Structure 1
Amino acid sequence: MKLKELRQAKGMTRVQLSKAIDVPVRALTRWENGETEMFLKTAVMLVEFFDVTLDEFVS
């Protein structure tokens, strides 16, 4: 998953992204570190936020 790379490319901190998508910072950290998996609904929200395809997001 490219969540960290997408966030950094947009010049955002975890806190900024957390506020933008209304998700706890702890959840973002766990997703970026591969500690937990996100729901498909969340992944779809993130691909829309970053304007990428789901394939790009998960590869």
Structure 2
Amino acid sequence: MELKDRLRALRREHGATQEAMAELLGIQLRAYQNYEYGSSFPNYKNFLRLADYFDVSLDYLAGRSESRERR
């Protein structure tokens, strides 16, 4: 699973809207939508914010691991 797929699944799992995620990250809605479409990627700071918000490891969020557990 790729980052775009993980973001969409985690957002839905948490009951958040794309608008709410964009606001959380301090970015425009279109910028967040591009993350979920896979046409752009979050910068390091926002990547960390996303992992913290969803309480998952960076490797899980990036699609490099199936384990959500943070170490």
Q: Deviations over 1:4-54 (max 9, x none)?
A: 111010011111222233221111100000011221111011101111000
**Structure with bigger gyration radius:** 2
- Distance in 2, matches of 1:46 and 1:53, equals 10
TM-score by length of 1: 0.87
In structure 2, what is the equivalent of residue 34 of structure 1? 38
| Partner of residue 4 from structure 1, selected from 4, 8, 16 | 8
Q: State the identity as a percent.
A: 27
TM-score by length of 2: 0.74
Bigger relative CO (Cα 8 Å, ≥ 6 apart)? 1
Please show how residues 1-59 of structure 1 align to structure 2 within 5 Å.
Answer: 1=3, 2-59=6-63
- Number of aligned positions between the proteins: 59
Range with bigger deviation, 5-14 or 19-28: 19-28
User: Unaligned stretches of 5+ in structure 1?
Assistant: none
Alignment RMSD (CA, Å): 1.1
User: Unaligned stretches of 5+ in structure 2?
Assistant: 64-71
Letter in 2 for 1:56: Y
**Alpha carbons 2:25, 2:46 under 8 Å: kept:** no
